[in-house]
Amino acid sequence: MFDKILIANRGEIALRVIRACREMGIASVAVHSTADADAMHVRMADESVCIGPNSSTDSYLSVPAIVAACEITGAQAIHPGYGFLSENANFVQILEDHDITFIGPSAAHIRIMGDKITAKETAMNLGIPVVPGSAGGVPDFETARKVGAEIGYPLIIKATAGGGGRGMKVAKDESELEIAFRTARSEAKAAFGNDEVYMERYLQKPRHIEIQVFGDGKGRAVHLGERDCSLQRRHQKVFEEAPGPCITPEERARIGKICADAMAELKYIGAGTIEFLYEDGEFFFIEMNTRLQVEHPVTEAIFGVDLVREQIRVAAGEEMEFTQENLKINGAAIEVRINAERLPNFAPCPGKITQYHAPGGLGVRMDSALYDGYKIPPYYDSLIGKLIVHGRDRNEALARLSRALGELIVDGVDTTVPLFHQLLAEPDIQRGDYSIHWLEKWLAKTYG
C-alpha cells in the first residue's frame, strides 16, 4: 500500500480523497494555486505545495508542476479527482514513465474512451448497445426504407455535413419517411452543398441513465447499478439519484451484466461510468467516463461502499473488496449540486462566505470545502458543495432532502439552493417522472 498520495485537484473532491487517505493511514499531499492558498483542501491535507498561479492552465492542469510536486514530497501515487487531468491520457503516460502510480485506468483505456468514434466502436465490439443507425450515408429512398425497417421508428434523418439542426427531419413511421428523407436531402443540399444524409433511431423523451462499473485490472469487474442524472441544464447535471426511479431490477441486472462483462474483457482498472440514453426499456450508449464521477456518493450511499478507498486499493495492486454477489442495494439516495450561481441565469457568483452551516442528521452527507470566511475564487468551477441524502426508500430520501436543504446555510453568495426547494414541490419530481428535456422546459416555463 502507498505511504503518501498526492491529490491533483481542489475543492470538495480533494477533501473526499484526503478523507479516504486518512482512514487508510496514508499521508496526503494537497497541491494548490496561489488563489487557493487558504482553501480547505490545503488546510486539511498533511502537506501542501503551491504549484502555480491562479489560472488552472498553469497550476491544476500543469503536468510538470504536478509531477515536480510529487517528486519533492515523495508521493508514490496521484489521485486526479474529476475534471482537470483525470482523463488526460498523456498525463497518465508521463506518470507511468516517472514510476508514479496513477489512481485510475490505463492511458490506453482513457485514450480509447476519450475519442467518440473509437469509444462507440469499442462499445459495439464489447456488446454494449448503441443507438441503431445506418452504417454511413443513405443514397436513395429505397435504401432508406430498408434501413428504416432495420433500425426502427421513430427515426431521424441528419445531414452528414450538418450541424445546428439544419438538414434534420424526423419520421414517426414509414408513411412519413419519404417526405422526411427528401426534404432532409434538399435542406442539406441548400445548407451545406452536400445532400448526403444518414439515419438514426430518434429518442423523444430519453432519460440519462449511467452504470457505475469497477474493475480490478486483472479481468474481474462488477457493476454498482445505475444513477439517473436526467435533470440537466445545458448538459450539466444538477440532481442525481440512485436507483433510477424507472429502472426495474431485471433491466438493471441485464444492462449491469453487459457493462461488467465488457469491463472484465477490457481488463479495466478502477472506477468508471458508462452513460446511456434510456427510453422504453432500451439503453443506448453515449460515452464512458474513465474516472470517479461527481455524483458517485449516491452509489456509495445505496451500496454502503467507499469507491475512493477501493480505487486506491486496486491501484496499489490489492484485491477488490466487493463481489457482484455481495453488492446489494439498500434504499434510495439523491444528490443535489450546490453551485455558487445566481438564478435564473445561473450566473457564477464568486465571493466571500459570511456564514456556512452544513445540515446533519440521519442519512445526510454534505461534501463541501466551504468554511466561514472562505472566499470563493472566480477562477474555477462554481460547484461549492454536494448534498447527498439517503433514505429507506425514495419518498424518505425526498423528505430528507427537503429537511436538509432547510438546515443548510450558505450566506454571502447566491447559490442554486432555491432551485431545489422549487423542484421538490413539483409533482413530476416527486413521482420521478422526468426526461433529459424536463429541466430546460421547466426553467423556460418558470423563469421565461
Partner 1 sequence: MTKNSHDNDVAFIQALAELLNKNDLTELSVVREYGEDDSLEVRVVKQATVVHAAPAPVVAAAPVAAPAAAPAAAAAPAAAATEDPASHPGALPSPMVGTAYLAAEPGAEPFVKVGAQVKEGQTVLIVEAMKTMNHIPAPKAGTVKRILVDDGTPVEFGTTLMIIE
Q: Which residue in the set 28, 59, 106, 230 belongs to the binding site for partner 1 (CB under 8 A)?
A: 59
67 near partner 1, judged by CB under 8 A: yes
249 near partner 1, judged by CB under 8 A: no
184 near partner 1, judged by CB under 8 A: no
* Residue 394 is a catalytic residue: no
Q: Say what the alpha-carbon torsion angle 273, 276, 282, 284 is, to the nearest 10 degrees.
A: -120
Minimum CB separation of residue 38 from partner 1 in Å reads 12
Nearest partner of 357 among 344, 346, 347, 366, judged by Cα: 366
402 near partner 1, judged by CB under 8 A: no
297 near partner 1, judged by CB under 8 A: no
Minimum CB separation of residue 44 from partner 1 in Å reads 18
Q: Are strands 27-33 and 47-52 parallel, antiparallel or unpaired?
A: parallel
Contact 369, 391 (CB under 8 A): no
Single-letter code of the amino acid located at 311: Q
Residue 24 or 50: the one with the smaller Cβ distance to partner 1 is 50
Residue 69 or 131: the one with the smaller Cβ distance to partner 1 is 69
51 near partner 1, judged by CB under 8 A: yes
Task: Spot the catalytic one: 291, 337, 394, 400.
Answer: 291
96 near partner 1, judged by CB under 8 A: no
Minimum CB separation of residue 132 from partner 1 in Å reads 47
Q: Which residue in the set 44, 61, 68, 126 belongs to the binding site for partner 1 (CB under 8 A)?
A: 68
DSSP 196-234: -EEEEEPPSS-EEEEEEEEEESSS-EEEEEEEEEEEEET
Contact 79, 73 (CB under 8 A): no
Q: Which region, judged by CB under 8 A, interacts with partner 1, from 43-51, 122-130, 396-404, 434-442?
A: 43-51
Minimum CB separation of residue 212 from partner 1 in Å reads 34
73 near partner 1, judged by CB under 8 A: yes
53 near partner 1, judged by CB under 8 A: yes
Q: Which residue in the set 1, 38, 72, 179 belongs to the binding site for partner 1 (CB under 8 A)?
A: 72
Residue 58 or 381: the one with the smaller Cβ distance to partner 1 is 58
| CA 166/CA 156 separation, integer angstroms | 12
Instruction: Classify burial at 200, counting beta carbons within 10 Å of its beta carbon; exposed 0-12, middle 13-18, buried 19 or more.
Output: middle
Q: Where are the alpha helices (DSSP H) in 283-369?
A: 296-303, 307-315
| CA 188/CA 184 separation, integer angstroms | 6
Residue 63 or 343: the one with the smaller Cβ distance to partner 1 is 63
Which pairs from 112-121 meet CB under 8 Å and 24+ separation?
113/287, 113/288, 113/289, 113/290, 114/87, 114/89, 114/290, 116/287, 119/287, 119/288, 120/285
- Site for partner 1, residues 22 to 41, rule: CB under 8 A: 34
Give residues in contact with partner 1 (CB under 8 A).
34, 49-53, 59, 63-65, 67-69, 71-73, 94, 98
Residues catalogued as catalytic: 291
